[in-house]
Structure 1
Amino acid sequence: MDKDLVTSDIREGYRVLTLNKPDRLNSFSAAMHTALMTALVDAEADNACRALILTGAGRGFCAGQDLSDGVFTPDETPDLSVTIEKFYSPLVRRLRSLPLPVICAVNGVAAGAGANVAFACDIVIAARSAKFIQAFAKLGLVPDAGGTWILPRLVGIARARALALLAEPVPAEQAEAWGMIWKTVDDVGLMSEAHRLAAYFATQPTAGLALIKQALDASETNSLDQQLDLERDLQGQAGRTPDYLEGVTAFLDKRAPRFVGRQ
């Protein structure tokens, strides 16, 4: 069933969303897009969910678009902008705007839109055997799912141009060295590390973390003056949350804080 294309494992304080089409390296179909968006909306609506892990079943994270899903028909000229507008752009916007940390655990190849969906998450960890590929140029296409926006910001314009134009794979350790991802871990320890991070975030001041995400995203286009004003405004919001009061009180009492998270 379509809902099984993305499984949702509810843990204490967080959820694990798994792309579940391993026979096709979890490549995106319309049905998978719908299932993933539904899972993200459900997680956001659950105040008990304070972090997410996104990963893939089987030997790969996501191979990008499933070309057997009706986007390519011989002797026809497709309008690929429809797929972008209907599925990929809303997905990236949702991932970036979620009011909780999103950890992407890349367990194998992340190609095309699969790589860029991973980069849209807040923290990316990868198995040592994983690799990232901007595969679009091999098909005469342009990087999508936010790739032309986020990749230069992660690795710089020189590397981004070469990666997009050459479509060469980047091993996980190289991706870490270039600042493309947060961390590389041994394959066997990938999900343990993802769960460790999610469990940590499940005890943290979620509202404040959401404001950090908002500030960092805005900084990409703001002037210094605009960013200083935004920091002022967001800090005002943060200071009015119960978790700020709890954090200060716990510090003064010399005890561990008990953050309530999402309100």
Structure 2
Amino acid sequence: MNELVADRLEGRVAILTLDAPEKMNAISVEMREALIVALQRRFLDDECSAIVLTGAGGNFSSGGDIKGARPAPEALARTMRHKLGRLQEMVRLVMSSPKPMIAAVEGKTFGAGMSLAVACDVVVASESAQFCAAFGRVGLLPDAGILYTLPRRVGAARAQQLLLSARSVEAPEAREIGLVDHVVPATDLLSRACTEAQQMASIAPLAFAAIKSLGSGGCATLEDAFAEEMRLQPMLAMTHDYSEARTAFAEKRKPQYRGC
């Protein structure tokens, strides 16, 4: 466990908790590093089949940590590139995770916190959740990949409006526009997120990873889709998991996948 990212395993679901409640889980550089380490560790953990990402203290995250001393002018650009690079790596890991990534969000989900949430495969929100792409309020460009991920969730026109207005979106509207997938009472948030994680983890791991990678922009045209099918389907058909799925179907039992 890192002091900024709590990490526990419930069954086969890892729950990673952004843990700086006194700052509403603002994503400092240290927290970025901690989450990168935690994600990489769980990706390699055979006891973990899915990951839930949440926040401590009633909020998911207020966004990037903009408090603290401002770097000297000559170091500002270099420092910004370093901080942004670690933020991008964090989101890159979430987007490319070979295991299902579920965001369980409540309270403030602002700025980079919103970027992190919408990078996940499924977003489960409590009734108190509030979303805001607040970047423009502090004079910055929307970052952490949200210029890519948000339009894929809510459509290009609505994403542009949310980014330009920097307005807050409450949970019911977020569900209506597709920003989140499920809205539940706060008391049910983690249990519902874990249920979603377990359901997605029932998919054969190699097939899940392939579907996710192609769904994240790998098929721009129909011919692209055909080409990827031709490339990947024969490879997947030679795996243990495909053979196991066929055998389990014939034997009327649940398949036991190995990810190979």
What range is the shorter-chain TM-score in? over 0.9
Is this contact kept in 2: 1:27–1:62, CA < 8 A?
yes
Q: Deviation digits for residues 188-245 of structure 1, max 9, x if unmatched?
A: 11111012222334444222111110121134x6222112111222222322222221
Is this contact kept in 2: 1:29–1:69, CA < 8 A?
no
Query: What is the one-letter code of the residue matched to 1:237?
Result: M
Query: What is the one-letter code of the residue matched to 2:256?
Result: F
- In the alignment, is residue 234 of structure 1 matched against residue 232 of structure 2? yes
Distance 2:163 2:74 in 1: 26
- In the alignment, is residue 259 of structure 1 matched against residue 256 of structure 2? yes
Q: Could you say if the C-alpha distance between residues 44 and 213 of structure 1 is closer, same or farther in structure 2, counting changes exceeding 3 Å?
A: same
Distance 1:127 1:74 in 2: 41
Distance 2:134 2:235 in 1: 42
Q: Deviation digits for residues 35-92 of structure 1, max 9, x if unmatched?
A: 111100100111221110000011100111111244x35988832333112x111111
Q: In structure 1, what is the equivalent of residue 84 of structure 2?
A: 84
Is this contact kept in 1: 2:104–2:123, CA < 8 A?
yes
The total of aligned residue pairs comes to 258
Is this contact kept in 2: 1:54–1:103, CA < 8 A?
yes
Is this contact kept in 2: 1:54–1:105, CA < 8 A?
yes
Query: What is the one-letter code of the residue matched to 2:27?
Result: F
Q: Secondary structure at the match of 2:6?
A: strand
Offset, 1:12: 2.5
Q: Could you say if the C-alpha distance between residues 22 and 261 of structure 1 is closer, same or farther in structure 2, counting changes exceeding 3 Å?
A: farther
Q: 1:31-42 to 2 correspondence within 5 Å?
A: 31-42=30-41
Q: Secondary structure at the match of 2:48?
A: coil
The one of 242, 247, 250 equivalent to 1:249 is: 247
Q: Secondary structure at the match of 1:3?
A: coil
Q: Please list every run of 5 or more consecutive structure 2 residues that lacks an aligned counterpart in the other structure.
A: none
Distance 2:231 2:184 in 1: 37
Q: In structure 1, what is the equivalent of residue 61 of structure 2?
A: 62
Query: What is the one-letter code of the residue matched to 2:236?
Result: A
Q: In structure 1, what is the equivalent of residue 108 of structure 2?
A: 109
Distance 2:234 2:127 in 1: 41
Offset, 1:122: 0.8
Q: Could you say if the C-alpha distance between residues 160 and 238 of structure 1 is closer, same or farther in structure 2, counting changes exceeding 3 Å?
A: same
Q: Could you say if the C-alpha distance between residues 68 and 76 of structure 1 is closer, same or farther in structure 2, counting changes exceeding 3 Å?
A: farther
Offset, 1:7: 0.8
Offset, 1:107: 1.9
Distance 1:179 1:32 in 2: 28
Query: What is the one-letter code of the residue matched to 1:212?
Result: I
Distance 2:193 2:123 in 1: 9
TM, length-normalised to structure 1: 0.91
Q: 1:196-215 to 2 correspondence within 5 Å?
A: 196-215=195-214
Q: Secondary structure at the match of 2:3?
A: helix
CA RMSD of aligned residues (A): 2.0
Query: What is the one-letter code of the residue matched to 2:173?
Result: Q
Q: In structure 2, what is the equivalent of residue 121 of structure 1?
A: 120
Q: In structure 1, what is the equivalent of residue 138 of structure 2?
A: 139
Distance 2:103 2:18 in 1: 11
Q: Please list every run of 5 or more consecutive structure 1 residues that lacks an aligned counterpart in the other structure.
A: none
Is this contact kept in 2: 1:123–1:181, CA < 8 A?
yes
TM, length-normalised to structure 2: 0.92
